[in-house]
Amino acid sequence: MALIVQKFGGSSVADSDSIKRVAKRIIATKKAGNDVAVVVSAMGDTTDDLIEQALDMDSNPPAREMDMLMTAGERISMSLLAMAIHAQGEKAHSFTGSQAGFMTDARYGAAHIRAVHPHRVAEALSNGEVGIVAGFQGVNPDGDATTLGRGGSDTSAVALAVALHADVCEIYTDVDGVFTADPRIVPTARRIPMISYEEMMEMAASGSKILALRCVEYAQRFHMPIHVRSSFSHRSGTVIIPQGVNPDTVPNYE
C-alpha cells in the first residue's frame, strides 16, 4: 500500500462531468490498495471570473479582500469533488487550506508556505476517507486567508505530500506529461519519460508552464517524486526524481 497525493488542475475539474470522472479515478486508486489525499484547483475559468468581478467593484481592490475572494474557487471544487466521491460509494472529507494546516507568511497574493500541519487530513486517511484539500491557499499568522500565487496548487500538493510522508505526488493536467515542446502546438513533440529536478527547474525557468519553479524546488528539497500525467488518459506520464533513481520504484507508475 502506498500513500499517494493527487493534484487535479482547473481543466481536470472544469465541469460536473469532469469532476465525476476525477472522482472515479481517485476511487480506482484507492481500491487498488492506496491511501489517497487530493489537492484541487478552482474549476475552469473560475479564478479569472472572480478577478473580473472584483475589478468591476474596485479597480484597485485591497489585497486582503482579493485573497479572501480568490480562495472561494478551490472551496467550490473541493466540496463538489467530495460529493461526487460520496455519490459513487466512497467516503471523502474536504478541507480548506487553513483546515489542512497550511501556514504561510503574511504576503497576500504570493504567500510562501512556512509550515504544513495536516493533522485533520491524516485523521481522515486513517478513517479510510479520501482527504480533499483546496489548493493555492493557506492562512497567515493573523488568521487571514492567503493565496500562493502562480502554480500555487502544484506547490500545495507537493507540500502536502511532504507533510504526509507520501510516496509520490501525482500532478494531473491536460497533457500526458512533460514534452520536448507543447504537444498541442507541435505534433512531433516527444514525451520525456523521466527527468531530474534540475532539468525540470531549468525548463520552468525558461517558460515551461507544466510546473511552477517553486513547486519543483520544494520537491527537490524534500526528495519528493512527482509524476506528471493526464487526467484524460491512463498512460504513463513523466516522473521527476533524483538522478539515479529507478522510475519503476515510484508507486502507480505504469
pLDDT tens sequence for the chain (254 residues): 899 999 999 999 999 999 999 999 999 999 999 999 999 999 999 999 999 999 999 999 999 999 999 999 999 999 999 999 999 999 999 999 999 999 999 999 999 999 999 999 999 999 999 999 999 999 999 999 999 998 899 999 999 999 999 999 999 988 888 998 888 888 888 999 999 999 999 888 777 778 888 999 999 999 999 999 998 888 889 999 877 777 778 887 66
Please tell me the predicted confidence (pLDDT) of residue 108: 96
The domain ranges of the chain are 3-249
Please tell me the predicted confidence (pLDDT) of residue 86: 98
Q: Domain 3-249 maps to which CATH number in 3.40.1160.10, 3.90.180.10, 3.40.720.10, 1.20.1050.10? A: 3.40.1160.10
Distance between CA atoms of residues 215 and 52, nearest Å: 27
Question: Cα-flanking dihedrals φ and ψ of residue 202, to 5°?
Answer: -65, -40
Contact 136, 152 (CB under 8 A): yes
Please tell me the predicted confidence (pLDDT) of residue 253: 65
Please tell me the predicted confidence (pLDDT) of residue 79: 98
Contact 168, 7 (CB under 8 A): no
Please tell me the predicted confidence (pLDDT) of residue 92: 98
* Paired sense of beta strands 238-240 and 226-230, if any: antiparallel
Please tell me the predicted confidence (pLDDT) of residue 248: 78
Q: How many other β-carbons are positioned within 10 Å of the β-carbon of residue 112?
A: 14
Distance between CA atoms of residues 95 and 151, nearest Å: 19
Closest CA to 235 of 184, 176, 192, 182: 176
Rg from Cα positions in the chain: 17
Distance between CA atoms of residues 71 and 139, nearest Å: 11
Residue for cell digits 500532478?
A: 171
Closest CA to 75 of 54, 44, 96: 96
